[in-house]
Amino acid sequence: MQFLKRFDESKTKELMDEVRGRVEDILDQIRLKGWDALARICESLDGFAPSKIKPDEIQEAWQKLSTEMKEALKVAEKNIRSFHRAQREILKDFTCDIDEGIKAGMRFVPVKSAAVYVPGGRYPLPSTVLMGVIPAQEAGVERIAVLTPPGRDGRPNSVTLAAMGMLGIREAWAIGGAQAIAAVAFGAGDIKQADIVVGPGNAYVTEAKRQVFGIVGIDGLAGPSEVMIVADSNADPKFLAADMVAQLEHDPSARAMLLTTDESIAKRAIGEVYKLLNNISTSSVASVAWENGGAVAVGTLEEISRMANEIAPEHLELAVEKPESVLELFTCYGAAFLGNYSPVPFGDYIAGTNHILPTGRSAKFQGGLWVGTFLRPLQHLCASKEAALNLARHGARIADAEGLAAHSLSMRMRGLY
């Protein structure tokens, strides 16, 4: 691979020791002192006490929303729900015959309670309400609580509230940061403990999720957003530049990598990136991200696919002539976007796929948020008296080899009667 621009690895480290230590302190305080500690921390960090958002306020935000924005959110809701409802359809309870007299099966049962964290810092993300809540609803989760930081006036972003109203959310809290994760992980005051916490956030939110994992479930650990674009000579350099900058404007730590089989496309795309950075309103963020986390390289498709599978990007764009035929070369990514007219922002907002995706190479071992995130696959077994005799004969030998006498006895007893 020939690199025209590389990442600056020295400036992209996210979680520092002081973040871990500060988060651990916040979690300990709330775990031990509950609401009192939560209130003290929220007032210290945000300037506002933690508060429950009234359902009337949520519905009022929806009613006051412009017709155009309502229409946009409804289209997004329809598409996202359609995709995630189809996911639920493939997760069917089943029972199968293992052998004569032996049946095994699986039920998919939703968690009782889920908390959805919705960022509200540099860019409030009402789209994350849809991405987090709709899969939980389609899974059949009974209680869904949304947590989002207060704005400068003490209330969350109005479009974020409106999105909650559209989805019928009845429990929401104006709380952000690690303290929000602690509140739903341990319970605090009227905030009840959740079974699982999902949603992206800053370094403090991510570290809090890491530290509470095991006490509650989590969807994953979201680092800085990232995109890898694979392009051939048919790609449009202006499209490529726009898609890179769209990713880079998320955060100064965001990453965008262009891997192309055509050097002239690479050079032209770099030029288009600088043109955009000189004109776009988010250039103060995107420019820093480009310098630290922008990379462009040229190579063969085989070299590119090997690198992509090693990096395992959050977003993979295939801006190539026949993306469907090329996709099989790529096995590690959060979500793939095929062709010149399927940019990542469609997945971020409106097309139906989920934007809560694995980052930092974690796509090697996990996928993005989906209906299955909220479902527990529960297995069951039923053996007849006759089948137990044969199972005991062989199973007891294995137990004896392991030295587990009671296991052996439990099975042999079924074979005797």
The string of pLDDT tens digits covering residues 373-411 is 999 999 999 999 999 999 999 999 999 999 999 999 999
Q: Is the pLDDT of residue 51 over 70?
A: yes
What would the two tokens of residue 147 be?
A: 């947590």
Angle between helices 283-293 and 263-277 (to 10 degrees): 150
User: Strand 171-174 relative to strand 51-52: parallel, antiparallel, unpaired?
Assistant: antiparallel
- Out of 314, 386, 394, 407, pick the active-site residue: 314
Give CA–CA dist 270/263, Å, rounded: 11
Q: In the predicted model, what is the mean pLDDT of residues 154-160?
A: 95
* Strand (E) or helix (H) holding 368: none
Give CA–CA dist 109/98, Å, rounded: 22
DSSP string, 130-145: HHHHHHHHHHT-SEEE
pLDDT of residue 266: 97
Q: Is 314 a catalytic residue?
A: yes
Q: Is the pLDDT of residue 305 over 90?
A: yes
* Confidence tier at 9 by pLDDT (50, 70, 90): low
Query: 95: how many CB neighbours lie within 10 A of its CB?
Result: 12
pLDDT digit string, tens, across residues 111-140: 999 999 999 977 889 999 999 999 999 999
Q: Is the pLDDT of residue 82 over 80?
A: yes
What would the two tokens of residue 48 be?
A: 């506002």
pLDDT of residue 135: 98
pLDDT digit string, tens, across residues 203-260: 999 999 999 999 999 999 988 999 999 999 999 999 999 999 999 999 999 999 999 9
Please report, for residues 81, 91, 123, 372, 379, the alpha-carbon distance to residue 106 in angstroms, rounded to integers and kept in the order given: 25, 10, 41, 14, 4
Q: Is the pLDDT of residue 15 over 70?
A: no
pLDDT digit string, tens, across residues 350-367: 999 999 999 999 999 999
Partners of 317 in beta bridges: 229, 337
pLDDT of residue 415: 77
CA 1 to chain centre: 31
Nearest by Cα to 215 from 180, 187, 190: 187
pLDDT of residue 17: 79
pLDDT of residue 388: 95
Q: Is 100 a catalytic residue?
A: no
- Out of 315, 380, 394, 402, pick the active-site residue: 315
pLDDT of residue 1: 83
What would the two tokens of residue 51 be?
A: 């508060």
pLDDT of residue 417: 55
Asked whether the CA dihedral 234, 239, 241, 244 is positive or negative, the reply is negative
Please report, for residues 231, 239, 258, 270, 275, the alpha-carbon distance to residue 297 in angstroms, rounded to integers and kept in the order given: 11, 17, 6, 11, 19
Give CA–CA dist 335/366, Å, rounded: 11
* Confidence tier at 302 by pLDDT (50, 70, 90): very high
* Confidence tier at 12 by pLDDT (50, 70, 90): very low
Single pTM value for the model:
0.95
Q: In the predicted model, what is the mean pLDDT of residues 141-156?
A: 95
Phi-psi region of 90 (alpha: psi -120 to 50; beta: other; left: phi over 0): alpha
pLDDT of residue 218: 98
CA atoms within 13 A on the CB side of 120: 27
Give CA–CA dist 206/212, Å, rounded: 10
Q: What whole-number percentage of the chain has pLDDT above 90?
A: 92
Residues in the chain: 417
What would the two tokens of residue 368 be?
A: 């993005």
**C-beta separation of 65 from 157 below 8 A:** no
**C-beta separation of 246 from 344 below 8 A:** yes
SS3 147: strand
